[in-house]
């Protein structure tokens, strides 16, 4: 799971942990209109690109980063076995080779994956990148000192569940073999056709063991990408990246690396970032942001200004905001009650609370509305734009609540556009029309996470959100609906605690497929099938709108990240 970055800087301080990951991975705008209108849009090398961010890059260790597709700023320094295709729109959801010559060669049942490194790969000090360095990089991500990454490696690699990393366990992971300097082989404990997607994450970055300094490595990680870190002040608050002269475009067809220098300034208030980008004075003319969206108030202003509107990029990241039910809690054990709420929800007011129709699209499916996820449209409990109160009342009557119902909706107090008080009050207002009285239970951010992600304390009715680790149905559906992923004594994301043998079996069957298009179709069908149980009420998919400075060229926004790809941007 990856959360997109919050729109508001103040929320960033109240909300937590994943903000760091989001800051790392989430990204910017698209110059839709500018691409068409501006005359000389040919990008040239040179200049300094300024990045204005709210969240500091506190983690800059490839082991600790939790990214979708390798992140934005990190991807300038860290190359991985595979990476996301740096292209606009749907083409950008493809996985492509990076350090490796292809996206991986699976064994027949997709449990063994073999990669060969390109020739001539070098670090910033000129030494060669070897397959052993990639193995070491993955191993150190298991160290408790360097925790923070996604859970897949631990779940998928043979014998990795209890591995504690190379500092405590010198033997290393036998699941990864490096028969020679350019070959690396992964042994998985079950078929995983989507392994190439996993190999885009920063844990697949080569780390030379001799240069590893443990928790201090993030101060100067050794670059394998087009830029190296020359300055890292205040724990990631101010980063300066300059060209890595040992990087060559000949062995990297994804990163364009137009600017000579990248200057990342963070710790800024989100409204200040947007003000600076819209004013575009001085160095801000060559500035972008990789973590700050336009908020509704700013959008209201920008849409009235032609010049500004032309500098807004729009993107879609695979993300769904929804209501989660816990059927173990009454009255949500009754499907009719869950259906009644599904009918009663007023998606237009929820969308307004999330920033209006330009910043959120109403959702009736759990999967994001993108082809790569296997999006299969369905609307099983049609509520229309503003809710179907009559149908909801009818269902409530059938469920034994002819006089209405009082329920408690749990939400996060952080103002973060996902599970925030604004969304909760919009739902409260809508359900009133259907005779459902909603009491709000707002929890402080940490408390909210603890409460809703523990099977012991999970409330019956709460706001939740889920984002894609990569643009496919697998990491979207499995953690939420796979019965074997229910975690009894830790962070559980299968909120409905669904453990349906047919669902589990279908997940296993799809994971075996290495034909990702075929897999996508089946994920879509599975989504619709689960949707019939009304275990969630999908609310909306957010839309990212971001400004860029007036000198910015070559804005590329993929549907993988939904935001501008910093490796493509030019300032000249």
Partner 1 sequence: MSEALVATQAPEALASGASGARQFWRRLRTQRAATVAAGIVALLVLVALAAPLLTALEGQDPTTYHPSLIDSARGGVPTGSLGGISGHHWLGVEPQTGRDLFARLVYGARVSLGVAFSATVIQVFVGLVVGVAAALGGRWIDQLLSRITDIFVALPLMIMSLALLAIVPQSFPRPVLVTLVIGLISWGSIAKIVRAQTLTLKGLDYVAAARLSGWGAWRIARRELLPGLAAPVITYASILIPVNISVEAALSFLGVGVKPPTPSWGQMLTAADVWYQAAPQYLLLPAGALFVTVLALAVLGDGVRTALDPRAASRLGVGTGRGRGRGREAVTTAKEESA
Partner 2 sequence: MNGFGGFLLRRTIGTLATLLAISVIVYVVFYVTPGNVAQITCGPRCSPEQVHQVAQQLHLDDPLYVRYWHFLQGLVVGQDYSTGTSVEHCSAPCLGLSYQTDQQVLSIILTRLPVSLSLVTGAMVLWLVLGVGTGVLSVWRRGRLTERVLTGLTLAGWATPVFVIGLVLMIVVCGELQLLPFPQYVKFTDDPEQWAWNLLLPWFSLALIESAAFARMTRSSMLETLAEDHIRTFRAYGVGERSIVGRHALRGALAPVIALNANNFGSAVGGAVLTETLFGLPGLGQELVHAVSVVDLPVVVGVVLVVGFFVVLANAVADVLYAVADRRVVLT
Per CB under 8 A, which region of 173-181, 204-212, 407-415, 490-498 contacts partner 1? 407-415
Give me the 14-33 binding string for partner 2, x by CB under 8 A, dash otherwise.
xxxxx--x------------
Binding mask 309-348 for partner 1 (x = CB under 8 A): -------------------------------------x-x
Per DSSP bridges, beta strands 238-243 and 261-265 are antiparallel
- Beta bridge partners of residue 553, listed in sequence order: 570
Query: Would you count residue 356 as binding partner 1 (CB under 8 A)?
Result: yes
Which of partner 2, partner 1, none binds 140 (CB below 5-8 Å, type-dependent)? Answer: partner 2
**Which of 421, 435, 460, 538: binder of partner 1 (CB under 8 A)?**
421
Provide the pairing of β-strand 536-542 with 405-412.
unpaired
Partner from partner 1, partner 2, none binding residue 425, C-beta < 5-8 Å depending on class:
partner 1
Number of residues counted as binding partner 2 (CB under 8 A): 64
Residues in binding contact with partner 1, number by CB under 8 A: 45
- Contact between 33 and partner 1 by CB under 8 A: the answer reads no
Alpha helix positions (H), 208-254: none
Task: Give the residue with the Cβ less far from partner 2, 47 or 267.
Answer: 267
Report yes or no: 487 and 455 within 8 Å, Cβ to Cβ.
Answer: yes
Question: Which of partner 2, partner 1, none does residue 442 bind to, with CB < 5 to 8 Å depending on kind?
Answer: partner 1
Interaction between residue 305 and partner 2 (CB under 8 A) = no
Burial class (CB in 10 A: 0-12, 13-18, 19+), 257: buried
Report the SS3 class of residue 475.
helix
Q: Does 414 bind partner 1 (CB under 8 A)?
A: yes
The C-alpha atoms of residue 536 and residue 522 are separated, in whole angstroms, by: 20
Beta bridge partners of 321: 465, 540
Q: Which is nearer to partner 2, 246 or 493 (CB)?
A: 493
Between 350 and 396, CB nearer to partner 1: 350
Q: What letter would DSSP give residue 223? A: P
Query: Which structure tokens are listed for 253?
Result: 């067809």
Smallest distance from partner 2 to CB 66, Å: 6
174 binds, among partner 1, partner 2, none (CB under 5 to 8 A by kind): none
Instruction: Report if residue 39 touches partner 2, rule: CB under 8 A.
Output: no
| SS percent in the chain: helix, strand, coil, step 5 | 30, 20, 50
Report the site for partner 2 in 114-153 (rule: CB under 8 A). Answer: 140, 143-151
d(CA 56, CA 221): 16
28 neighbors 566 (Cβ within 8 angstroms) = yes
Site string for partner 1, 425-464 (x = CB under 8 A): xx-xxx---------xxxxxxxx-----------------
Contacts from 500-507 at CB under 8 Å and sequence distance 24+?
A: 503/529, 503/530, 507/474, 507/477, 507/478, 507/481, 507/482
Binding of partner 1 by 272 (CB under 8 A): no
Q: Decide if residue 295 touches partner 1 (CB under 8 A).
A: yes
Report the alpha-carbon distance of residue 195 to residue 138 in Å, rounded.
14
Q: Report which of 206, 207, 209, 233 is spatially closest to residue 219, judged by C-alpha positions.
A: 233
Asked if residues 212 and 138 have their Cβ atoms less than 8 Å apart, the reply is no
Alpha helix segments (H runs only) across 345-403: 347-353, 389-398
Cα 147 off chain centre by: 18
Length, in residues, of the chain: 572
Query: 397, 343 in Cβ contact below 8 A?
Result: no
Residue closer to partner 1 by CB (options 243, 545) is 545
Q: Which of 178, 352, 369, 499 binds partner 1 (CB under 8 A)?
A: 352
Q: How far is the CB of 187 from partner 1 (least distance, A)?
A: 45
297 near partner 1, rule: CB under 8 A: yes
* 304 binds partner 2 per the rule CB under 8 A: no
Tell me which of partner 2, partner 1, none is bound by residue 256, counting a contact when its beta carbon lies within the kind-specific cut-off of 5 to 8 angstroms: none
User: H or E segment at 274?
Assistant: helix 270-279
Q: How far apart are CA 480 and CA 224, in angstroms?
A: 35
Between 214 and 233, how does the x/- string for binding to partner 2 read (CB under 8 A)? xxx----------------x
Interface pick for partner 2 out of 6, 31, 62, 66 (rule CB under 8 A): 66
Cβ-Cβ contacts under 8 Å for 39 (sequence gap 6 or more): none
CB under 5 to 8 A by kind: which of partner 1, partner 2, none does 428 bind?
A: partner 1
How far apart, in whole angstroms, are the C-alpha atoms of residue 266 and residue 269? 9
Tally: H helices and E strands in the chain: 18, 19
**To the nearest whole angstrom, how small is the minimum distance from the Cβ of residue 271 to partner 1?**
5
Rounded least distance, CB 7 to partner 2, Å = 15
Return the range that interacts with partner 2 (CB under 8 A); candidates 179-187, 199-207, 222-230, 485-493.
485-493
Q: Which helix (H) or strand (E) holds 536?
A: strand 536-542
386 makes contact with partner 2 (CB under 8 A) = no
Binding mask 3-32 for partner 1 (x = CB under 8 A): -------xx-xx------------------
Q: How far apart (Å, rounded) are the C-alpha atoms in residues 9 and 237?
A: 14
Of 318, 361, 315, the residue nearest 475 (C-alpha): 318
d(CA 288, CA 273): 9
| Nearest 10 degrees: Cα torsion 40, 42, 45, 51 | 80
Please tell me whether residue 434 binds partner 2 under the rule CB under 8 A.
Answer: no
Cα-based angle 83, 86, 90 (whole degrees, multiple of 5) = 105
In the complex, least distance from residue 233 CB atom to partner 2, rounded to whole angstroms: 8
Contact pick of 80, 449, 494, 554 for partner 2 (by CB under 8 A)? 449
Choose the one of partner 2, partner 1, none that binds residue 249, judging by a C-beta under 5 to 8 angstroms depending on kind.
Answer: none
Binding site for partner 2 (CB under 8 A): 1, 9-10, 13-18, 21, 58-59, 66, 140, 143-151, 154, 161-162, 164-165, 167, 212-216, 233-235, 237, 265, 267-269, 271-272, 275-276, 278-279, 281-282, 284, 444-447, 449-450, 453, 479, 487, 489-491, 493
Binding site for partner 1 (CB under 8 A): 10-11, 13-14, 271, 295-301, 303-304, 346, 348-349, 351-353, 355-359, 386, 413-415, 421-422, 424-426, 428-430, 440-447
């Amino acid at each position: 799971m990856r959360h997109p970055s919050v729109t508001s800087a103040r929320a960033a301080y109240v909300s937590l942990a994943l903000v760091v990951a989001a800051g790392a991975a989430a990204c910017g705008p698209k110059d839709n209109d500018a691409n068409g209108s501006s005359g000389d849009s040919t990008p040239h090398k040179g200049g300094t690109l300024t990045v204005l961010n709210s969240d500091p890059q506190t983690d800059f260790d490839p082991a600790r980063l939790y990214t979708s597709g390798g992140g934005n700023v990190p991807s300038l320094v860290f190359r991985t076995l595979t990476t996301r295709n740096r292209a606009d729109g749907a083409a950008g959801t493809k996985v492509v080779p990076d350090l490796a010559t292809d996206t991986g060669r699976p064994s027949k049942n997709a449990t063994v994956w073999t990669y060969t490194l390109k020739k001539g790969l070098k670090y910033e000090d000129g030494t060669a990148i070897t397959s052993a360095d990639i193995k070491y990089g993955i191993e150190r991500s298991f160290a408790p000192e360097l925790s923070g990454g996604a859970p897949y490696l631990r779940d998928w690699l043979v014998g990795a569940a209890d591995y504690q990393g190379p500092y405590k366990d010198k033997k290393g992971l036998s699941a990864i073999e490096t028969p020679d300097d350019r070959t690396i082989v992964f042994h998985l404990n079950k078929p995983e056709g989507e392994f190439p997607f996993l190999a885009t994450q920063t844990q697949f970055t080569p780390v030379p063991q001799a240069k590893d300094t443990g928790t201090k490595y993030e101060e100067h990680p050794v670059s394998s990408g087009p830029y190296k870190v020359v300055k890292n002040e205040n724990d990631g608050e101010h980063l300066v990246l300059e060209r890595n002269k040992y990087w060559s475009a000949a062995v990297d067809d994804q990163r364009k690396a137009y600017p000579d220098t990248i200057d990342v300034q963070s710790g800024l208030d989100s409204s200040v970032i947007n003000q600076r980008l819209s004013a575009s004075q001085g160095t801000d003319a060559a500035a972008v942001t990789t973590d700050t969206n336009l908020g509704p108030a700013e959008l209201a202003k920008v849409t009235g200004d032609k010049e500004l509107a032309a500098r807004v990029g729009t993107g879609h990241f695979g993300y769904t905001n929804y209501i989660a039910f816990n059927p173990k809690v009454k009255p949500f054990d009754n499907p009719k009650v869950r259906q009644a709420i599904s009918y009663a929800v007023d998606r237009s007011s929820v969308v307004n609370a999330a920033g209006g129709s330009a910043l959120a699209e109403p959702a009736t499916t759990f999967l994001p509305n993108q082809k790569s996820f296997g999006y299969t449209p369905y609307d099983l409990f049609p509520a229309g734009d503003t809710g179907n109160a009559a149908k909801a009342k009818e269902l409530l009557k059938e469920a034994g609540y002819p006089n209405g119902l009082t329920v408690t909706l749990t939400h996060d107090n952080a103002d973060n556009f996902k599970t925030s008080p604004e969304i909760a009050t919009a739902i409260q207002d809508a359900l009133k029309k259907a005779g459902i009285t909603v009491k709000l239970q707002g929890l402080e951010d940490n408390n909210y996470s603890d409460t809703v992600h523990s099977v012991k304390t999970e409330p019956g009715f709460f706001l939740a959100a889920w984002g894609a680790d990569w643009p496919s149905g697998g990491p979207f559906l499995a953690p939420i609906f796979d019965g074997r992923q229910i975690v009894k004594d830790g962070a559980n994301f299968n909120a409905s605690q669904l453990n349906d043998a047919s669902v589990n079996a279908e997940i296993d069957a799809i994971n075996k497929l290495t034909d990702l298009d075929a897999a996508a179709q089946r994920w879509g069908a599975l989504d619709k099938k689960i949707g019939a149980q009304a275990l969630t009420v999908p609310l909306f998919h957010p839309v990212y709108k971001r400004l860029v400075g007036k000198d910015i060229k070559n804005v590329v926004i993929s549907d993988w990240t939904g935001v501008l790809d910093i490796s493509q941007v030019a300032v000249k």
